[in-house]
């Protein structure tokens, strides 16, 4: 660790609220799948800023778009028309198959909050004043703001902040009967992650998601998909639900929308989106020309570089490599996920120590809880890089076991 790390880490506790237990490293630059610390040491990044830099670090197309827009116009607010915002909304609609309208915000939690508000507004207008409840899944994660936290299906993250906004019902994920039992006239929306990310990388079963769509149609309930983590070709498709052949009514987006710049969006089918009227919802910073320029450059580059195809191919390769660890040792007991959104379940509760040991070997890893390693590399990750990870993991696991 360099001097810059020493000075910065020593002052962390004095000047920051203690909401994160930071790792013993300080990154100062990045390029593609690589990160560099304050001493110039190179690391292979398997986290992508928690799935937010799908295009890789310091991508020249995004850097250029931001630099150009930065010296032209950064922000005037949503009171005015600006460049890039409408173009981005049209591009997102096209990626979803057309007929969608966007509201831009700044983060995943805000995208979920906006989706919740839209669903309530739609429910009251279309079903009646009682239709305000939102059903979400146990183990889900929708963000840290109060309504997004209430939607989140993880009591450990909620209890300290009660009372939470009412009107949320949690049911077991991938259990259609449990959903069927709660979808009455007081429900306006079902909100699900297509692949539960923070909960441990659990994809929805295809038959489940299809049945959810059918049930929502039958009961006149909106299907809101939280693709904050699974979107932007992370699983191979522009959005993870596209592998399931179903269409959502509302999609919450953020993370990789602008390749690491703060950006979020609520994107809804036009008839649903039209439930919002002027004054219903807003954001000072959402949809600035700067962020929208970055998002457009991100989406264009992800498509031009065919990184969805790479996510499928290298994701399958990495998955096979991780599964071979299950076969040849009993340290790894299960591999889950799809595309380049994968997890390895460990037998022992050593995942955090594996992450720390990974840094010493030049690998930026991530754990969810004590037993789960999650892999979210930039989508340009190569088969060789996936092999490097699978080659080092047994060494790291052995070190940690000692
Ligand atoms: C599925 C999902 N929804 C919402 C969020 C919240 O996003 P943010 O941290 O940008 O508020 C996250 C963050 O991890 C997420 O994975």
| SS3 state at 29 | strand
Average pLDDT value for residue range 94-99: 98
Closest by CA to 229, choosing from 255, 259, 209, 264, is 255
Residue 275: phi and psi, rounded to 5, are -70, -25
227-253 pLDDT, tens digit each:
999 999 999 999 999 999 999 999 999
φ/ψ bin of 31: left (φ > 0), alpha (ψ from -120 to 50), beta (otherwise): beta
Pair 366, 47: CB distance under 8 Å:
yes
Query: Inter-axis angle of helices 289-304 and 85-95, to 10 degrees?
Result: 40
Residues 43 and 83 in one domain: no
Q: Residue 45: which CATH number?
A: 3.90.1150.10
Residues 272 and 382 in one domain: no
Q: Is the pLDDT of residue 136 over 80?
A: yes
Dist. CA 4–CA 39, nearest whole Å: 9
Residues 224 and 129 in one domain: yes
What pLDDT shows up at residue 219? Answer: 98
Catalytic (active-site) positions: 141, 226, 255
Indicate whether residue 153 lines ligand 1 (CB < 6 A): no
Q: Is the pLDDT of residue 298 over 80?
A: yes
How many Å separate Cα 42 from the centre of its chain? 25
Q: Is the pLDDT of residue 1 over 80?
A: no
What pLDDT shows up at residue 329? Answer: 84
Regarding beta strands 42-45 and 34-37, do their DSSP bridges make them parallel or antiparallel, or are they unpaired?
A: antiparallel
Residues 194 and 219 in one domain: yes
222 Cα: distance to centroid of ligand 1 (angstroms): 20
Residues 127 and 185 in one domain: yes
Number of domains within the chain: 2
Tokens (6 digits) for 181: 């039992």
Residues 263 and 134 in one domain: yes
Residues 94 and 71 in one domain: yes
What pLDDT shows up at residue 134? Answer: 98
Q: Residue 124: which CATH number?
A: 3.40.640.10
6-23 pLDDT, tens digit each:
999 999 999 999 999 999
Residues 175 and 145 in one domain: yes
Atom of ligand 1 nearest to the CA of 144: 11
Average pLDDT value for residue range 164-174: 98
What pLDDT shows up at residue 283? Answer: 98
Q: Which of 242, 272, 304 is the last residue of a domain?
A: 304
Residues 283 and 354 in one domain: no
Q: Is the pLDDT of residue 27 over 90?
A: yes
Residue 380: phi and psi, rounded to 5, are -85, 5
Closest by CA to 248, choosing from 262, 278, 227, is 227
Closest CA to ligand 1's atom 16: 229
301-346 pLDDT, tens digit each:
999 999 999 999 999 999 999 999 999 889 999 999 999 999 999 9
Q: Which of 304, 339, 356 is the last residue of a domain?
A: 304
Indicate whether residue 109 lines ligand 1 (CB < 6 A): yes
Dist. CA 48–CA 401, nearest whole Å: 27
Flag whether the pTM goes above 0.95: yes
User: How does the average pLDDT of the chain come out, rounded?
Assistant: 97
Closest by CA to 276, choosing from 102, 45, 105, is 102
91 Cα: distance to centroid of ligand 1 (angstroms): 22
- In this prediction, residue 402 has a pLDDT band, given cuts at 50, 70 and 90, of confident
For the chain, percent of residues with pLDDT exceeding 90: 98
Indicate whether residue 115 lines ligand 1 (CB < 6 A): no
Residues 255 and 296 in one domain: yes
Residues 68 and 140 in one domain: yes
Q: Which of 263, 287, 304 is the last residue of a domain?
A: 304
User: Whose structure tokens read 């990184």?
Assistant: 307
What pLDDT shows up at residue 2? Answer: 86
Domain carrying residue 80:
61-304
Closest by CA to 138, choosing from 125, 147, 151, 148, is 151
Dist. CA 265–CA 272, nearest whole Å: 15
Residues 310 and 300 in one domain: no
């Amino acid at each position: 660790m360099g001097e810059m790390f020493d000075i910065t880490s020593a002052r962390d506790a004095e000047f920051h609220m203690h909401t994160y237990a930071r790792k013993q490293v300080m990154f100062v630059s990045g390029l593609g799948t690589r990160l560099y610390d304050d001493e110039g040491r190179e690391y292979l990044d398997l986290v992508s800023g928690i799935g937010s830099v799908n295009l890789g670090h310091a991508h020249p197309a995004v850097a250029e778009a931001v630099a150009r827009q930065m010296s032209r116009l950064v922000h005037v607010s949503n009171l005015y028309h600006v460049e890039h915002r409408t173009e981005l909304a049209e591009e997102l609609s096209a990626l979803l198959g057309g007929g969608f309208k966007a509201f831009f915000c700044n983060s995943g939690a805000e995208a979920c909050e906006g989706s919740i508000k839209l669903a309530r507004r739609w429910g009251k207008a279309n079903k009646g004043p009682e239709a305000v409840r939102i059903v979400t899944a146990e183990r889900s994660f929708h963000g840290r703001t109060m309504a997004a936290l209430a939607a989140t299906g993880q009591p450990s993250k909620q209890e300290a902040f009660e009372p939470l906004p009412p009107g949320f019902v949690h049911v077991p994920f991938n259990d259609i009967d449990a959903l069927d039992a709660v979808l009455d006239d007081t429900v306006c929306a079902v909100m699900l992650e297509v692949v539960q990310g923070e909960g441990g990388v659990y994809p929805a079963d295809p038959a489940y998601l299809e049945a959810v769509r059918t049930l929502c149609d039958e009961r006149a309930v909106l299907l809101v998909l939280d693709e904050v983590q699974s979107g932007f070709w992370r699983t191979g498709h522009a959005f993870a639900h596209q592998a399931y052949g179903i269409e959502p009514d509302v999609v919450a987006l953020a993370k990789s929308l602008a390749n690491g710049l703060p950006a979020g969006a609520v994107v809804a089918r036009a008839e649903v989106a039209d439930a919002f009227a002027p004054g219903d919802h807003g954001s000072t910073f959402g949809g600035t020309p700067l962020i929208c320029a970055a998002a457009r450059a991100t989406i264009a580059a992800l498509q031009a570089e065919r990184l969805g195809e790479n996510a499928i191919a290298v994701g399958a390769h990495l998955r096979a490599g991780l599964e071979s660890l299950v076969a040849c040792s009993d340290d790894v007991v299960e591999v889950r996920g799809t595309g380049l959104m994968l997890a390895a379940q460990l037998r022992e509760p050593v995942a955090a120590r594996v992450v720390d040991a990974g840094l010493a070997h030049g690998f930026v890893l991530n754990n969810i809880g004590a037993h789960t390693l999650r892999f979210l590399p930039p989508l340009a990750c190569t088969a060789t890089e996936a092999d490097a990870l699978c080659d080092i993991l047994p060494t790291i696991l052995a070190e940690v076991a000692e």
